[in-house]
Amino acid sequence: MYSPVTPEVVSHLTQLVGDENISTRQSDLDLHSQDQSAHEAHAPDVIVWVENVAQVSRVLAYANEQRIPVTGWGAGSSLEGNPIALCGGILVSFEHMNKIIAIHADDFQVTVQPGLGYKDLNTQLASHGLFFAPDPGANASIGGMLANNAAGIRTVKYGATKDNVLRMQVVLADGRIVEAGSRSVKQSSGYDLVHLFIGSEGTLGLITEATLKLAPIAEHMSAAVACFERVDDAIQAVVAVRGSGTDPAALEFLDAFSVGSISESNDLDLAAKPTIFMEFHASHVGVLEGILNTVREICQEAGALNIKTTTNNAERLKLWHARHHAYETIVRRHPDQKFYISDVAVPISAYPELIAFIETYRSEHNITAYALGHAGDGNIHICTPFTADTYRSVYDMNTEVVEKAISLHGTATGEHGVGIGKSRFMKMEHGLALDVMHEVKQTLDPNWILNPGKIFP
């Protein structure tokens, strides 16, 4: 189906991007053969580091003409094999396209290139009193966040990546450069192409520029941590806080295994019990104190064993540093094992039933699994260590949890994307809508050169 990458192809690509922006060295190919998931590595045949949209356009037009597969690469921090070049071919890296093009401070907007890390972006925006709210934890590239519709701990207040994008520049499979959306906050003109490309994982086009919505940095922030004896109590507190009108900026659930791991590694003095982490933002300290009083009452009524609150910024950052690095902490506890990482999401009303299902399945099948996630928007991550002998049981658990989430009117993936591991659930979740997606793909990429092997089973 696809043409091989021959020396002639490499020579032509070199003419398009320059000798310094291309590599077939095995060390480079290996570094770009795998993301942070446990999916099998697949090396591309050649890596092209693009520096501008014109180069992207020329590379895609040539690849489409020659029928060579193309996979986009941001930071390689994804968790579902999304940027793995399953069919080899050309890997287009956006690592050099990492600039802020313009800060529109008065409009609470910024226009950026796709290779810029979101943490690096927020560091530069801080002097303007602004920040880009979606927070996936790792220093993911903006392009990767757009391609996966990344979310994170602040989704409950600020929304996912898709809720914070106004316009994008996208290069289609045949090299055409498309401008989708505009910098106007209100848009009602034609099809919503921006949200068609967001979450498409590089299967419909490669994003080369985006204008993002920004939010003002809150003047006052607080953190609250409440631990419970029972998972049911913790989850009921999550639902109650979500519906209390306190408008949490973050509302996270961690099971006892996860809390024990991060507490020990980060000197947090937290009991190894089901726990919820919360953050609240306000423009006045008095408002913040009122919110914390309400949250204390909610957690106490739900049976909290202990509630800690702080408005001290250093203490708040220490807590969230531990939460952001929970995965790395868990991995260190199982140094000789790989990890199966899965995420699903359900309506908040179904969250207690989903968590109860996970707890019961884990116990009945004697599986070591860490459950933690963005409870405020119904998202849960399951991190399960495995060996060659235990892989099948872990795989089966993931299958059962995904099917349970879909049965609860949820989704196979809340923020990690479909990638390699979730494509088998697409028909179950989407039914005939998957056929429509196939038709869209066929229209925009008739030769199926863009990130083949992803999304479609």
For residues 56 and 438, the answer to whether their CB atoms sit within 8 Å is no
Domains and CATH numbers, the chain: 7-95 (3.30.43.10), 100-216 (3.30.465.10), 220-327 (3.30.70.2190), 334-415+427-432 (3.30.70.2740)
H/E segment holding residue 70? strand 70-73
pTM of the model: 0.94
DSSP 3-state percent helix, strand, coil across the chain (nearest 5)? 40, 20, 35
CA 399 to CA 312: how far, in whole Å? 42
Helices H, strands E: what count in the chain?
Answer: 16, 18
Tokens standing for 100?
A: 């802020």
Categorize the per-residue pLDDT at 455 as very low, low, confident or very high, splitting at 50, 70 and 90: very high
Higher pLDDT, 136 or 214: 214
Residue type (1 letter), 73? W
Mapped onto helix, strand or coil, the DSSP state of residue 161 is helix
Which residue is associated with the tokens 């356009």? 57
Mean pLDDT of the chain: 95
> What pLDDT, on the 0 to 100 scale, is given for residue 131?
97
Q: Any idea what the Cα angle at residue 55 is, between residues 53 and 61, rounded to 5°?
A: 100
- Residue 43, token pair as written in the block: 């090396």
Distance CA 189, CA 440 (A): 20
Model confidence pLDDT, tens digit, residues 424-453:
999 999 999 999 999 999 999 999 999 999
Alpha-carbon distance of 86 to 77, in angstroms, equals 17
Asked which of 106-120, 196-210, 315-329 is least confident by mean pLDDT, the reply is 315-329
The two three-digit tokens of residue 388, written as one number: 């060659």
Angstrom distance (rounded) from CA 280 to CA 157: 9
* Predicted local confidence at residue 266, as pLDDT: 85
Is 90 exceeded by the pLDDT of residue 311?
Answer: no
For the chain, what is the radius of gyration of the CA atoms?
22
Question: pLDDT tens digit string along 217-241?
Answer: 998 999 999 999 999 999 999 999 9
Distance of CA 140 to the CA centre of its chain: 8
Helix (H, G, I), strand (E, B) or coil at 198: coil
Over residues 62-83, mean pLDDT: 97
Give the model's confidence band at 267: pLDDT under 50 very low, under 70 low, under 90 confident, else very high. confident
